[in-house]
Structure 1
């Protein structure tokens, strides 16, 4: 009877109380958080993932991570947004894992037939110039450029990954591209 009353009280308790109790090892309080936020997390993951087969796994992995890292949550009142961020990262990780990958080391690409030393030197110098241009970019602009141009991420994926608004990502990408165009002008 006392355990039933404990559960009923926790169902209506504020988030900060549930987080505090769960941090102290109260699995009933953590279960109340699971019941409170699992449907919303599942709906959110559904918007990111291409299918529904992975939804429950993502939500379960999120709660496992949350249980393990609950002590790191600085503001217990913000547990909802914290759980949604973890859900987002887990869902994006699943999307990335579903993308086809090519093992570059396994590729045997023949060199160009006319791969004479001057052309190889020019190509090497171009790659080095691009490295230097990227190194000159501020960190966030470089990360946006690499994720978009090399990783082929969407603007929304980059925004989620870097925890930035999509409009900021667009601006940083525009600045990064302009910088690289200017720096690479002689290689056109």
Structure 2
């Protein structure tokens, strides 16, 4: 039987929903309250979009991933066992949808996005041309090193270093165990440290 839509209309009511805990919102959304679901989307949408952007390397794909995630989540909320874990559940769907997009595009886990972020984060602040040249060379070396990482290691590294996600969140996003996350991150860090040895 489908959800019976229960829309809370006024802006004041919507603002109040923004203060409601995830567990209550998820429970109400599962019962068909679209306003509660929209509150969840507003709350977690930015992180979902940022995660999809990092993984796909495309803002357009990220927007598609978020929309697909919300559609899937709305249809499957009844299957969510722990309403308080809705954030991780949404991120797991984002991860799965992002990987689907990557497979269709046959790219390398959003490497373009990684390179752009590396350049942005390491952009020289000083006007010293010599210092700027050193920073630029280091950025290029890091980009080259990231390109050589296996896809599954690069995904974990991006989510940890750029999205600042916990091991648990990465595991949920990529639908793998926390032990696998730790192992992949450890191997990625060892490889990057070895490749970047001359820049220490």
Alpha carbons of 1:52 and 1:76: their partners in 2 closer, same or farther (altered >3 Å)? Answer: same
List aligned pairs for 1:32-71, cutoff 5 A: 32-71=39-78
Contact map agreement 1:19 1:30 (CA 8 A) in 2: yes
Match of 2:105 among 98, 103, 107: 98
| Distance in 2 separating the partners of 1:166 and 1:25 | 35
Q: Which residue of 2 aligns with 1:154?
A: 151
Unaligned runs of at least 5 residues, structure 2: 1-7, 108-149, 157-170, 186-200
Measured against aligned partners, the alpha-carbon deviations of 1:64-117 in whole angstroms (never above 9, x if no partner) come to 0000000100000000000000000000110001018xxxxxxxxxxxxxxxxx
Query: Counterparts in 2 of 1:104-115, with a 5 A limit?
Result: none
SS in 1 for 2:60: coil
TM, length-normalised to structure 2: 0.53
3-state SS in 2 of match to 1:53:
helix
- Maintained 8 Å contact 1:155/1:166: no
Equivalent residues of 2:92, 2:175 under 8 A apart: no
Instruction: Please identify the structure whose Cα radius of gyration is greater.
Output: 1
| RMSD of aligned residue pairs (Cα, Å) | 2.8
Give 3-state SS (helix, strand or coil) of 2:104's partner. Answer: helix
Q: CA deviation at 1:47?
A: 1.1
Task: Give the number of the structure with larger relative contact order, counting CA–CA contacts within 8 Å between residues 6 or more apart.
Answer: 2
Query: Which residue of 2 is the match for residue 22 of structure 1?
Result: 29
Answer whether contact 2:49 2:62 (CA < 8 A) is retained. yes
Task: Quickly say closer, same or farther: Cα 1:168–1:10, change in 2 above 3 A.
Answer: same
Structure 2 residue aligned with 1:88, among 82, 85, 95?
Answer: 95
TM-score of the two chains, using structure 1 as the length reference = 0.56
**Structure 1 residues 111-169: Cα deviation after superposition (integer angstroms, max 9, x where no partner):** xxxxxxxxxxxxxxxxxxxxxxxxxxxxxxxxxxxxxxxxxx72336987551324546
Partner-residue secondary structure (3-state), 1:77: helix
Match of 1:163? 176
SS of alignment partner, residue 54 of structure 1: helix
Counterpart position of 1:175: none
1:75 to 76, 82, 88: 82
